[in-house]
Amino acid sequence: MNGTRLPYQTLLPSAFQALLALERRVQGLTLGVPLLEPVKVRARQLNGCGFCLDRPSKDARKVGVSQRQLCWSSRRGAGTLFTPRRQAVLKFEAVTLQAGVPDAPLGRLRPHFCGAGIIKWTMAVITVNAWNRMGVVSGLHPA
């Protein structure tokens, strides 16, 4: 961490540990790393956290997500570049940042995931966004 304006890990370690525990729990939800990594990248693009965007981009590339897919994950309606399943997850992730979640993005998830699966994705998005907000407020930058 380079240039941190608020070192949340040391200022409130119990909250940091709680967020780490949530992250570990989400990692254990069997969402599929190749599907989860682009969602992390998309959330971080929307949240504007450069530090947060650096690592997931590298992680996504390691699990086979192409650079082209990473670039296009920020664009809605990327057509045939993503499977319908991945498109549904990316669209759902984007609307969770809004004040209300419309029925349409949720409906697009239903053919691909059961109710528990949708809740798993919701928890994953919440966790990614929590890290992003911490990164933005703390002023983290890639090393």
Asked whether residue 83 is assigned to any structural domain, the reply reads yes
Question: Looking at the 3D structure of the chain, how many domains does it have?
Answer: 1
Q: Quick one: how far is CA 75 from the chain centroid?
A: 15
Domain that holds residue 99: 32-135
Q: Are 56 and 37 in contact (CB under 8 A)?
A: yes
Instruction: Per-residue pLDDT tens, the chain, 143 aa: give them.
Output: 445 677 778 888 998 899 999 989 888 887 776 777 777 777 777 776 666 666 667 777 787 777 777 766 656 555 567 778 777 777 777 777 666 777 888 888 899 888 898 888 888 888 888 887 887 777 766 65
CA distance 22 to 27: 9
CA distance 69 to 42: 11
Asked whether residue 141 is assigned to any structural domain, the reply reads no
CATH number at residue 121: 1.20.1290.10
Asked whether residue 7 is assigned to any structural domain, the reply reads no
Asked whether residue 104 is assigned to any structural domain, the reply reads yes
Asked whether residue 130 is assigned to any structural domain, the reply reads yes
Asked whether residue 76 is assigned to any structural domain, the reply reads yes
Asked whether residue 57 is assigned to any structural domain, the reply reads yes
Pull the structure tokens for residue 130: 């929590």
Asked whether residue 18 is assigned to any structural domain, the reply reads no
Helix (H, G, I), strand (E, B) or coil at 141: strand
